[in-house]
Amino acid sequence: MTLGTRSRFFIRRGYTALFSLFLFSFAAKIFGMIYSMTGFGRAEASFNGRQIIVEVKALNGKQFDIATKLPPILRSYELDIRNLLSSMLLRGTIDITINVRQEGASKPMVVNTDLALFYYQGMKQIAEQTGLPQENIISTLMRMPEVVAPDQDVLPESDWLNVKEVVLAAANQLMEHRRHEGEAMLKDINLRIGNIEKLHEKILPLEPERVERVRARLTQWLDDMVGKEKIDPNRFEQEMIYYLERMDFSEEKIRLRQHCGYFHNTINENDAAIGRKLNFILQEIGREINTLGSKANHAEIQQIVINMKDELEKAKEQILNIL
């Protein structure tokens, strides 16, 4: 394949990468797809005597934080690379490494003679003082940092556009990796919230028994303290109503059910980056579960609440890894 043909072929690959990313975004909007925050992407191509290799890795992170490892010839394009990845990867701790290798004999290089002479004087002095042979000074000298460097300090704009396509392809592959991980996470998170809803339903048949237990316990306590004949039934009923009102968690149950429903709706929204929002909803679910536990005053209900908390913590662990 000629250089021109390879360049045209690669440009088509770049457009394909962009089109695939568009399809991912479209699928997220239609089908409620979620993305993991972790992933890896790699792409490479050759053009104009250069081989470009791009590797991108993403880990968990609250914001978009990127570390770049670029050759000197690409330093002037670092801001462009950061902006490009920020718009595509949204958030997370990102590491990108780009290697540019010259192919064949097309390797325009220059020698920094001033730096080479500086190194030479130091090496020669050391060799004379130690009595070491000086035959290999030149070969050692040529391997010193920045003595031999590429002739071009900045990659031409036309070549940068090709490098940009390789970066796009690597980022696109990373997003595909994120999508595959997100599919498994979506199933697990929906399972956890569904389990909380099922546990919530188990509380309903226990409520009448809960009220009767409270009434019986208070009656027994008063009988033991002051005697049954000294209890004012009217006053007792008033105190019972007041006490049961303080123990009532009807509103908490309603809000818990609403929060779970809102969670399901949100996770199916047309937004690829919903991790923060889902985390906030889980915090609200946790508040209602905690209030249920504090007001339960019933051993079986408290056991159900403990199981709810266990499911909630498992969901939180997954949410931390959602984009």
Q: Where are the beta strands (DSSP E) in the chain?
A: 39-47, 50-59, 64-69, 92-102, 109-111, 148-150
**Residue 104 banded pLDDT, cuts 50, 70, 90:** low
pLDDT, one tens digit per residue, over 124-174 is: 788 777 877 777 777 777 777 777 665 556 778 888 899 999 999 999 999
pTM of the model: 0.64
Say how far apart CA 283 and CA 297 lie, in whole Å.
Answer: 23
Say how far apart CA 127 and CA 265 lie, in whole Å.
Answer: 75
DSSP 271: -
pLDDT, one tens digit per residue, over 225-271 is: 666 666 666 666 666 666 666 677 888 889 999 999 999 988 887 66
Say how far apart CA 10 and CA 50 lie, in whole Å.
Answer: 13
**Residue 314 banded pLDDT, cuts 50, 70, 90:** very high
**Residue 25 banded pLDDT, cuts 50, 70, 90:** very low
pLDDT, one tens digit per residue, over 30-88 is: 345 788 989 999 999 988 888 899 999 999 888 899 999 998 888 889 999 999 999 88
SS3 135: coil
Cβ-Cβ contacts under 8 Å for 272 (sequence gap 6 or more): 24, 25, 28, 33, 34, 35, 90, 323
Q: What is the pLDDT of residue 119?
A: 79
SS3 155: coil
The dihedral region occupied by 173, where left means phi > 0, alpha psi between -120 and 50, and beta the remainder, is: alpha
Full set of structural domains in the chain with CATH: 3-107+154-181 (3.30.230), 110-141 (no CATH), 182-319 (no CATH)
SS3 128: helix
Token pair for 73 = 């010839």
